[in-house]
Amino acid sequence: MSRESLLRRARLGAQLLTGRATHDPVAAVGHILAVQAQDDRGFRLTLRTRSTAATADAVDTALGARQLLVTWALRGTLHLVRPEDHWWLHPLTTPQLASGNRRRLAQEGVSPRAAARGVDVVTEALGDGPKTRAELRAYLDAARVPNAGQGFVHLMLAATLAGHVARGPVIGRELAWVSVEQWLGSRPPAVDREEALARLAVRYLRGHAPAAPEDLAKWAGITLGDARLAFAGAAGGLAPWRADPSLTTSTEHPDDPAPRLPAPRLLGPFDPILHGWRDRELFTGAHRDVITTNGIFRPTALVDGRVVGTWGLAAGTVTIRMFEPTTVRAGRALQIEAARVLRYLGRPEREAVITGV
What amino acid occupies position 119?
A: V
Alpha-carbon span 83 to 166, nearest angstrom: 10
pLDDT tens string for the chain (357 positions)? 788 899 999 999 999 999 889 999 999 999 999 999 999 999 999 999 999 999 999 999 999 999 999 999 999 999 999 999 999 999 999 999 999 999 999 999 999 999 999 999 999 999 999 999 999 999 999 999 999 999 999 999 999 999 999 999 999 989 999 999 999 998 999 999 999 999 999 999 999 999 999 999 999 999 999 999 999 988 765 543 454 544 433 344 444 556 789 999 999 999 999 999 999 999 999 888 888 767 788 999 999 999 999 999 999 999 999 999 999 999 999 999 999 999 999 999 999 999 986
- Read off φ and ψ for residue 174, nearest 5 degrees: -120, 140
Query: What is the secondary structure of 92-145 as a DSSP string?
Result: HHSGGGHHHHHHHHHHTT--HHHHHHHHHHHHHHGGGS-B-HHHHHHHHHHTT-
Cβ proximity of 56 and 48 under 8 Å: yes
3-class secondary-structure state, position 4:
helix
Cβ proximity of 277 and 218 under 8 Å: yes
Alpha-carbon span 24 to 325, nearest angstrom: 34
Alpha-carbon span 193 to 88, nearest angstrom: 9
H or E stretch covering 287: none
Alpha-carbon span 322 to 44, nearest angstrom: 23
Alpha-carbon span 218 to 4, nearest angstrom: 20
pTM (two decimals): 0.92
Cis status, amide bond into 240, omega within 30 of 0: yes
Cβ proximity of 206 and 241 under 8 Å: yes
